[in-house]
Amino acid sequence: MNHLKTYILLAAMTALFGAVGYLVGGTGGMLIALLVAGAMNLFAYWNADKMVLRHFKAQEIQAGHPDARVRAYVEDALALAQRAGLPAPKVYIIDNPQPNAFATGRNPENAAVAATSGLLALLSREEIRGVMAHELAHVKNRDTLTMTVTATIAGAVAMLANFALFFGDRDRNPIVGLLIMFLAPIAASLVQMAISRAREYEADRIGAEIGGEPEALASALQKIEGYARQRVNMDAERNPAMAHLFIINPLAGKGADNLFSTHPNTQNRIAQLMDIARRFGRATTPPQSGPWGAATARKRGPWG
């Protein structure tokens, strides 16, 4: 269903682009906007992983790290990739107290997973495995490509709206022009965010299958969201366009409206994971909440 939802939303985005392009610049204007947006996002597709990792000051780590918790994190990430039938990803740590993680890379052969020091300090080993399984699901689903295509079309819509402001048909009803300028980019952004939310649900589902511990991922999501709200991620705040990469919105402390959120409601994600756990014949109750909304039902690991 999440794949179907993604395809429907991509079709809606394409239809929006076609309608706005035709109204603003006809076929020629539409093609120019698509080519410009495509060139920009093609560059991002090939270089985004390096840019993102550099922006968050991520440090690559290897198996055999002297810190036991870091060593376990690397070993589990590589083992889960093998279990998922993926090439071994590069593994990174970000020195940041906010618990969070993301995956990047243009394809499975060039993938990287990154976790913050805050996440390794907070979660048990089982929960960290659940998070890594989720991130590897993004790699397996080639979500980087999906979001690049989405960003290309959304960027083209925004360019067409700007084109309407400066070069639009002066004989057209000015109200129509204003609606195109302001509503089209907003509509494209909403569809883009909806696609991002659909991909998160799908990564939760596939991650539960890869890791085999959906309740551990559910517990991790509960903890991460609760603690992320208490710790500001300044690197993410400086570049909010990267927020969709993380497993939990790193800007959650800003209280963004759900309609404009790049992530689904965490409780809805937990409900889906607990349903999967029941089908696996495992947990039957959701993780309990602590003073920060963090799960307390599961035993913390030796470094948690």
- The reply, when asked if residue 209 is annotated as ligand binding, is no
Give the tokens for residue 138. Answer: 């993004």
Query: Is 135 one of the catalytic residues?
Result: yes
Among candidate residues 60, 126, 127, 135, the one labeled active-site is 135
Q: Give CA torsion, residues 153, 154, 158, 161, to 10 deg.
A: 70
Distance of alpha carbon 256 from alpha carbon 191, whole angstroms: 16
Task: Please tell me whether 244 is known to bind a ligand.
Answer: no
**Six token digits for residue 12:** 């809606």
Q: Are the C-beta atoms of 263 and 196 separated by less than 8 Å?
A: yes
In this structure, is the dihedral angle defined by the CA atoms of residues 93, 293, 274 and 282, taken in order, positive or negative?
positive
Residues in contact with 217: Cβ distance below 8 Å, sequence separation at least 6, in sequence order:
127, 130, 131, 133, 134, 204, 207, 208, 211, 273
Q: What residues form the annotated binding site?
A: 134, 138, 200
Q: Which of the residues are catalytic?
A: 135
Q: What residues form the annotated binding site for Zn(2+)?
A: 134, 138, 200
